[in-house]
Structure 1
Amino acid sequence: MPARGEDSGRTAWPRRIGWLLALWALGVLALGLVAGLLRLLMTAAGLTA
Structure 2
Amino acid sequence: MTGKGTIDEEKKPLWQRLGWLALIWVGSVVSLAIVAWLMRLFMSAAGLSTH
| CA apart distance, 1:15 | 0.6
**5+ long unaligned stretches in structure 2:** none
Distance 1:45 1:25 in 2: 30
Structure 1 stretches of 4+ moved >2 Å: none
Aligned residues: 44
| CA apart distance, 1:14 | 0.9
Alignment root-mean-square deviation, CA: 1.9
Q: Which residue of 2 aligns with 1:38?
A: 39
Q: Which residue of 2 aligns with 1:12?
A: 13
Distance 1:40 1:16 in 2: 36
**5+ long unaligned stretches in structure 1:** none
Task: Work out the percentage of aligned pairs sharing the same amino acid.
Answer: 39
Q: Give TM-score scaled by structure 1 length.
A: 0.76
Distance 2:13 2:25 in 1: 18
